[in-house]
Amino acid sequence: MLRLLLVFALFSFAFPFTSSPLAQGASTDIFYLVKPLLPHSAALQVSFQYRSNAAGKLVLRFENNSWGDRDLFNCLTGLTVSPAPQSIEMLPDSSLIKIIAQPNQELQVRYAIRQDFNVTLKNVHRYRPIVQKEYFHVLGMRLFLVPENLFQSDSDSARIEINWAAPAAGHIFHSNFGPGLRQKANLTKDMLYSTFFIGGDFRRYSYSWKNQTIYLVTRGNWSSFTDQQVLDILKATIPAQMVFWKDRLDAPFSVSLLPTFEEWTDSSKSFSLGGSGLLNSFISFSSNNPGTELKMLRWLYNHELLHRWIGQTLVNEEEEKQYWFSEGFTDYYAYKLMLRNKQISLEDFLDVINKEVLAPHYQSPVRTLPNSELTQQKFWSDRQYNKLPYRRGLLYALLLDSQLKKKYHGKKSLDNLMKNLMAQAKKSGDFKFNHTVFQDQLDTYLGSAAITEFGRYILQGNWINFEESLPAGLLLETQKDIPAIIISPLANKKKLADLLGK
């Protein structure tokens, strides 16, 4: 029986994680009006006004190829500009639309966003606009045409207002800002891109935690778990991670969960889970078939929520060059914190490291790829390349954590190094995570030998030697030519679980 596990990339997007609401009465730099045409038509109608420059030019950006998706201009239809300009030029290759009109002319821009695939929703579609008669789910970066001069730089923010028409009877509306139809915020371009909007036949749940509201929005009939079980994961995960990072929510937090339809028959059993950490929120997608289990969703939610800190506060300087950290360390901490908080057992923890990380990494044809050769194109187009930074980074985090606990006799761990990085990031407004910043930490905690190992294991991509670095109670064993970490027969399991989760 073929059993195919597809766990897709869990991308983190870089942006400061707070948005400041505008003072009442402040003017806006841009005002988008969005009207879902559901349930009569499967489209989202968008309009806004913007002035051409002194030369009569208005250049709009719409990312045509990003996050592994291509040809997103296919989703953009019915573009009209009034008063009628001299020309409108669609330039998908550069993700731009060039409008030539009168100098300094106020222009009304209208268009619609549609779904551009006709098959049942699959995980692979998760970042494309999903717009059907029953519901829609769309990212800000897939919905808004953004005037090029709205943001002068990556750190520049604009006062943005978005108004949504009321949903049809029986439908709901929700976004990363909460249930309100009107959003008004100061956002950078990355923050605007990292918004999400949904509407239609969703179910919404909410609860209050430390004066903020947490929302879960989902739809469909789940076969492997109930809405309440998903909500319970959030209720356990959010406080546990907030306590770990000594952080708090400063805005409502939203989670969306959509069912996708992967084939589950006698001959083909495939399922997938995926998600992305966005502005005060994360989105998630899971196959609605017997392959998906609640424990996979628990891992996904622990992983996605951690991106609030690793990825969003600790922002990568060069995206995929630091995925070993932003994906690998995120995955390590997802499992470590689940073990610490007794969401998984010691056996589950080791089982997942052996089956999902150590064995597939050992067998991967690209396991020794130098870090510098992991390009964006490779990461998004090939599953082996895609999984590489997750696996390599997790194994390296396990090694470092063990070395730190040994050196400091259990009084320090990788947690100290991570929290130190976090403190640095919070202190400096333009902090970027890069290899120099990380090597400084290694030098502080473990000395120059650790920097040499970093070069060997992360930069050069050599196989990590665990022989001398596993905590007491664990052994490295080769089973059918494949390495595995096992519990020593003499180990005290309770103490071992405490040590690994510490």
| Site residues (vs Zn ion, CB under 5 A) | 10, 327
Beta bridge partners of 439: none
Q: How far apart are CB 346 and Zn ion at their closest, in Å? A: 24
Q: How far apart are CB 394 and Zn ion at their closest, in Å? A: 11
Nearest to 349 by CA among 333, 361, 360: 333
Indicate the residue among 369 and 394 with the shorter CB distance to Zn ion: 394
Indicate the residue among 284 and 287 with the shorter CB distance to Zn ion: 284
Q: How far apart are CB 352 and Zn ion at their closest, in Å? A: 16
Indicate the residue among 10 and 60 with the shorter CB distance to Zn ion: 10
How many C-beta neighbours within 10 Å does residue 436 have? 9
Instruction: Describe the chain by its helix, strand, coil percentages, rounded to 5.
Output: 35, 30, 35
Q: How far apart are CB 234 and Zn ion at their closest, in Å? A: 17
Q: How far apart are CB 17 and Zn ion at their closest, in Å? A: 15
Q: How far apart are CB 305 and Zn ion at their closest, in Å? A: 10
Residues 234, 408: Cα–Cα separation, whole Å: 34
Note whether 7 and 272 are within 8 A (CB).
Answer: yes
* Side-chain half-sphere exposure of 293, counting CA atoms within 13 A: 4
Indicate the residue among 327 and 401 with the shorter CB distance to Zn ion: 327
**What tokens appear for 277 in the block?**
């950490």
Indicate the residue among 173 and 329 with the shorter CB distance to Zn ion: 329
Residues 364, 385: Cα–Cα separation, whole Å: 9
Dihedral sign for Cα atoms in the order 2, 124, 68, 390: negative
**What tokens appear for 234 in the block?**
């959030």
Q: How far apart are CB 310 and Zn ion at their closest, in Å? A: 9
Cα of first residue to Cα of last residue in the chain, in angstroms, is 39
How many C-beta neighbours within 10 Å does residue 460 have? 13
Q: Which residue is nearest to Zn ion (CB)?
A: 10
Indicate the residue among 129 and 274 with the shorter CB distance to Zn ion: 274
**What tokens appear for 160 in the block?**
């943005």
Indicate the residue among 10 and 496 with the shorter CB distance to Zn ion: 10
Beta bridge partners of 443: none
Indicate the residue among 10 and 296 with the shorter CB distance to Zn ion: 10
**What tokens appear for 313 in the block?**
């506060």
Residue the block writes with tokens 């778990």: 225
Beta carbons within 8 Å of 208's beta carbon, 6+ residues apart:
214
Indicate the residue among 190 and 327 with the shorter CB distance to Zn ion: 327
Q: How far apart are CB 11 and Zn ion at their closest, in Å? A: 6
Indicate the residue among 197 and 325 with the shorter CB distance to Zn ion: 325
Task: Return the exposure string of 382-421: e unless at least 16 CB atoms fall within 10 Å of the residue's CB, then b.
Answer: eebbbbbbbbbbbbbbbbbbbbbbeeeeeeebbbebbeeb
Dihedral sign for Cα atoms in the order 81, 85, 86, 92: negative
Q: How far apart are CB 326 and Zn ion at their closest, in Å? A: 7
3-state secondary structure 131-188: ECCCEEEEEHHHCCCEEHHHCCCCCCEEEEEEEECCCCCCCEEEECCECCCEEEEEEE
* Side-chain half-sphere exposure of 361, counting CA atoms within 13 A: 26
Indicate the residue among 202 and 332 with the shorter CB distance to Zn ion: 332
Q: How far apart are CB 300 and Zn ion at their closest, in Å? A: 9
Beta bridge partners of 158: 187
Residues 441, 447: Cα–Cα separation, whole Å: 9
Indicate the residue among 75 and 296 with the shorter CB distance to Zn ion: 296
Q: How far apart are CB 303 and Zn ion at their closest, in Å? A: 6
Indicate the residue among 7 and 75 with the shorter CB distance to Zn ion: 7
Residues 390, 324: Cα–Cα separation, whole Å: 6
**What tokens appear for 66 in the block?**
């990003």
Q: How far apart are CB 391 and Zn ion at their closest, in Å? A: 13
**Is the preceding peptide bond at 103 cis, omega within 30 degrees of 0?**
no
Q: How far apart are CB 133 and Zn ion at their closest, in Å? A: 32
